[in-house]
Amino acid sequence: MNYMFKNGFLPTDAPLFMDEVMVVVAILPFLVAYGISQAKKGNIKLHKRVQVLLFVVGIIFVGYFEYGARVMGGFAPILAKSSLNHTFLYGFLAFHVLIAIATTFLWSYSIYFGLRYYKRISRKSFRYSHVRIAKPTFFGIALTSVTGVLLYVFMYIF
């Protein structure tokens, strides 16, 4: 897996795995929004497939990122390259991680609820409950994406 530590394809000194993860994180909310749009159009099968696929791919990329970060020695060596205040960066990282963890649990519950109760409860009740879960989930995905991209910028551009 040494390929993942070669120079990335973005114009920074980030390793390849960071660039790959950053691109996935940056486009994830748009792909999730596409999945949501399919539900609004009544294409529930595609909505389910897109949401489950994106969740699984997201979890795989988190594992890929964690592996790469641990092999590199964690956050400290990456942080050393940034000219920004390290206390700020650690605080921002903690915020990002907390939002990401909460969103992962919320997203997994949203998928579980959707798959389990889609045909078991009335359509009106299902839609109301699922949307109540899905709105904060999407907000969490978007916020995780924005903070993830900002961390990349903070570490490799500033």
Looking at residue 48, its amino acid is: K
- On whether residue 5 sits in a domain, the answer given is no
pLDDT for the residue 83: 87
Q: Per-residue pLDDT for 23 more than 70? A: yes
pTM of the model: 0.89
- On whether residue 4 sits in a domain, the answer given is no
Residue-wise pLDDT tens digits, 86-103: 899 999 999 999 999 999
Total residue count of the chain as it appears in this document = 158
- What does the block give as tokens for 30? 């748009």
The secondary structure of 84-152 as a DSSP string is S-HHHHHHHHHHHHHHHHHHHHHHHHHHHHHHHHTTTS-HHHHHHHHHHHHHHHHHHHHHHHHHHHHHH
- On whether residue 9 sits in a domain, the answer given is no
Question: Which of 20-29, 118-127, 136-145 is predicted least confidently?
Answer: 118-127
- On whether residue 55 sits in a domain, the answer given is yes
Is residue 119 within 8 Å of residue 10, measured between CB atoms?
no
Question: Which of 11-15, 24-28, 103-107, 119-123 is predicted least confidently?
Answer: 119-123
List the one residue out of 80, 100, 98 whose CA is nearest residue 89.
80
- What does the block give as tokens for 111? 């998928």
pLDDT for the residue 75: 80
What average pLDDT is seen over the chain?
A: 91
**Average pLDDT rounded to a whole number, residues 135-142:** 97
Range of the domain at 100: 15-156
Please tell me the distance from the alpha carbon of residue 36 to that of residue 30, in angstroms, as a whole number: 10
**pLDDT tier at 81 (50, 70, 90 boundaries)?**
confident
- On whether residue 2 sits in a domain, the answer given is no
- On whether residue 7 sits in a domain, the answer given is no
Q: Domain count of the chain?
A: 1
pLDDT for the residue 1: 64
- On whether residue 22 sits in a domain, the answer given is yes
